[in-house]
Amino acid sequence: MEIYILIGSFVLLLILRFPIALTLIVSSLLTGLYMDVHLASLIQKIVGGLNSFSLLAIPFFILAGEIMNEGGISRRLINFANVIIGKIRGGLAMVNVLASTFFGGISGSALADTSSIGSVMIPMMKKQGYDADYSVAVTVSSSAQGVMIPPSHNMIIFSSAAGGVSVGALFMGGLLPGLLLGFVLMIITYVLAVKRKYPKGEAIDKKEIPKILFDGLLGLFTIVIIMGGILTGMFTVTESAAIGTLYAFIITFFVYRDIKITRMGIILKNTFKVLSMVLFLVGASAAFGHMLALLKVPLLVSELLIGISPSPAVTILMIIIILLLLGMIMDMAPLILIATPILLPVAMEVGMDPVHFGVLLILCLAIGLITPPVGTVLFVGSAIGRLPIEKTSKGLIPFYAAMIVAVLIVAYVPSVSLYLPSVFFK
């Protein structure tokens, strides 16, 4: 009965469109009252869920992404990518994917990626003769790299939900899968561009190339500072995030100088808005996870999935299907916090490393961001491209197929996720 109350009230409140954080807290409180659990213990769990040093990195990563997003970095990265790969057939679409790879390593957000890169690239692609649905599909699918390529605050959320898995190992674990995702998207982008005879990219004046490369590298050096500090052991993740944010501030306001310092107030407001939602979710999910643990839900789910099929390969496939389906109806951050304590024990039972599982989970949920009916990134891309969701979703079908290929490779070839962590975090 307690499980029915917990899960039933959670689903009911979601259907009634309650905010997800409130849904987690209310369902936990209702179950706690029925079980006669001292409510003070739930409050302690909420506070305890926020009492994590690694979570301090999240506001810095969000702030750095907001600063670079406002400061014109997207335009510079597009120009940078254009120099590298823009001359081939469908070059502008390929530039879109590569720019998203670069931008994802700075913002760590698929939504910010689509908003920034898409607002420039989608109108540009349409103007040069690319179909609108193709332009939007390339933009939103490639933005999924933003949550994979380090630094990603979603990896930190997973680390917290998983009980302290190394954030540095998760960052490095997500790098190759993120690049793999970009690679398979580039393949399908090129194949479709050749099939539909989209134009080649325009030549760039050679005199402009040095400045374009210099401006692009200045922005990308943010990633070098953050990851270099972590991998060399000079800084913790939180310290690297703070130093990277300071560098982003200096580059944006004193080198690029596309915006005035007075915009900092708006940037901070946007940062606090995102941060408050993330931390509210983390605290609320700690209480919900406590109730799941008391009711032994992870153990029950583990026994159920393993009982259905004793084959680890089939169990992993079932985990993938569950994550893809959940990603269609719920946003990424709450799903990380809810699904991790339930599915991580199942994954470990069939031999998956926590870092491997974390990377797979993030990748599956990244696909959910561009999948109807609740794909927030899909909505933003459709709005920028001025297309109905149905038409955008139809244009995404070949890109969904490419992303599923990437998911299966990551799932069944563990070294893709675990090689770099094994090198840098022995």
What is the full DSSP assignment across 12-77? HHHHTT--HHHHHHHHHHHHHHHHT--HHHHHHHHHHHH--GGGGHHHHHHHHHHHHHHTTHHHHH
One-character DSSP codes across 39-51: HHHHHHHHHHHH-
Contacts (Cβ under 8 Å, ≥6 apart) of 381: 114, 118, 122, 136, 139, 140, 143, 370, 392
Main-chain phi, psi angles of 163, to 5 degrees: 85, 25
Please give the pLDDT value at position 410. 96
Considering only CA atoms, which of 89, 64, 66, 68 is closest in space to residue 77?
68
Q: Angle CA(191)–CA(195)–CA(201) in degrees, nearest 5?
A: 75
In this prediction the pTM is 0.85
CA distance 183 to 415: 17
- Coil, strand or helix at 102: helix
What Cα–Cα distance (Å) separates residue 89 from each residue in 130, 163, 187, 399? Answer: 12, 47, 12, 18
Ranges of residues in the chain whose predicted pLDDT is under 70? 105, 202-203, 298, 426
Residue range 314-367, pLDDT digits in tens? 999 999 998 998 888 777 888 888 889 889 988 998 899 999 999 999 999 999
Please give the pLDDT value at position 191. 92
Tokens (6 digits) for 12: 């009911």
Tokens (6 digits) for 25: 């807290």
One-character DSSP codes across 317-365: HHHHHHHHHHHTTS-HHHHHHHHHHHHHHHHHHTT--HHHHHHHHHHHH
CA distance 142 to 97: 5
| 143 DSSP assignment | G
Domain locations along the chain: 2-424
Backbone dihedral region for residue 172 (phi beyond 0: left; psi -120 to 50: alpha; all else: beta): alpha
Tokens (6 digits) for 46: 């909420």
Residue range 72-116, pLDDT digits in tens? 777 788 888 878 877 788 888 888 888 888 887 677 778 778 887
Q: Which residue has the tokens 């995702």?
A: 181
Please give the pLDDT value at position 426. 63
Please give the pLDDT value at position 177. 94
CA distance 69 to 71: 6
